């Protein structure tokens, strides 16, 4: 998004980032409710009101700084939705499904933002004042949701991918695998600090973004 001021770029990214991180968490809570755990619903966390999900650091500060610094790599997080494991009908299997719901929501939102970008191309010329911002916002929405989906599918605690792997492994292997959880965040920070995380994410993110951008092109 070259040529934009920092304020303009922040305005373009604000809604896509906000929806990407909050609906990711709502999807976890919604799936948990369907599988027998109403904890998130009782605490009001199935609401689409972003205020209920905003984490001052992960939803506001980190994405805002990354945008203003022009890093070209945006991510963030919302307050995790509480899940009561024992309420789930089949805890190991259901926890994997709950975990999968978050990245699934990001994929769905990426498709919706591709549709927004596609529709922007068909707005009349007189609506150019709206078409350009919508196209840029659609591109931002595709970008942030694909990054969050791929990032969260990494099989590393505390990311969703680790919950999915735990649900798929036999009990004994799942127990052994879960022992890395206390070190997961440190491993993740190490990957970020060394640049290895970007190297890992780049190929799948690039492929999926190219697919989404091709779908959002006007014919």
CA 199 to CA 46: how far, in whole Å?
Answer: 34
* Contact residues for 45 (Cβ-Cβ < 8 A; gap 6+): 25, 26, 29, 52, 53, 81, 82
Confidence grade of residue 35 (pLDDT, cut at 50, 70, 90): very high
pLDDT at 109: 97
- Percentage of the chain surpassing pLDDT 70? 91
**Is-catalytic flag, 181?**
no
With contact defined as beta carbons under 8 Å apart, do 76 and 67 qualify? Answer: no
In a domain, 157, yes or no: yes
pLDDT at 70: 62
pLDDT in tens, 153-206: 999 888 999 999 999 998 889 888 888 888 888 888 788 778 888 899 999 999
In a domain, 169, yes or no: yes
Return the H-helix or E-strand segment holding 4. none
CA dihedral 218, 9, 59, 137 (to 10 degrees): -10
**Which of these is catalytic: 13, 20, 23, 25?**
25
Domain count, the chain: 1
In a domain, 149, yes or no: yes
pTM for the predicted model, two decimal places = 0.88
In a domain, 153, yes or no: yes
Helix-, strand-, coil-residue percentages of the chain, each rounded to 5: 75, 0, 25
With contact defined as beta carbons under 8 Å apart, do 116 and 96 qualify? Answer: no
In a domain, 39, yes or no: yes
Select from 133, 139, 157 the least CA-distant residue to 74. 139
**Structural domain for 20, as ranges:** 6-215
Instruction: Tell me the longest C-alpha to C-alpha distance in the chain.
Output: 64
């Amino acid at each position: 998004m070259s040529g934009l001021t920092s304020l303009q770029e922040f305005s373009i990214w604000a809604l896509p980032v906000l929806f990407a991180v909050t609906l990711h968490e709502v999807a976890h809570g919604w799936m948990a409710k369907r599988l027998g755990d109403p904890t998130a619903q009782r605490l009001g966390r199935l609401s689409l009101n972003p205020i209920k999900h905003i984490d001052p650091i992960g939803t506001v500060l980190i994405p805002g700084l990354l945008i203003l610094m022009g890093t070209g790599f945006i991510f963030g997080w919302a307050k995790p939705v509480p899940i009561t494991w024992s309420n789930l009908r089949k805890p190991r299997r259901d926890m994997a499904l709950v975990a999968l719901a978050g990245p699934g929501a990001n994929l769905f939102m990426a498709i919706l933002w591709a549709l927004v970008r596609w529709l922007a191309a068909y707005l009349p010329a007189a609506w150019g004042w709206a078409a350009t911002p919508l196209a840029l916002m659609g591109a931002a929405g595709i970008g942030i949701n694909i990054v969050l989906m791929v990032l969260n599918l990494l099989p590393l605690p505390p990311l969703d991918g680790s919950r999915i792997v735990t649900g798929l492994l036999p009990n004994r292997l799942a127990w052994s695998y879960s022992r890395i959880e206390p070190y997961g965040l440190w491993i993740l920070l190490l990957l970020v600090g060394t640049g290895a995380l970007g190297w890992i994410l780049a190929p799948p993110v690039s492929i999926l973004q190219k697919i989404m951008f091709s779908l959002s092109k006007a014919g």
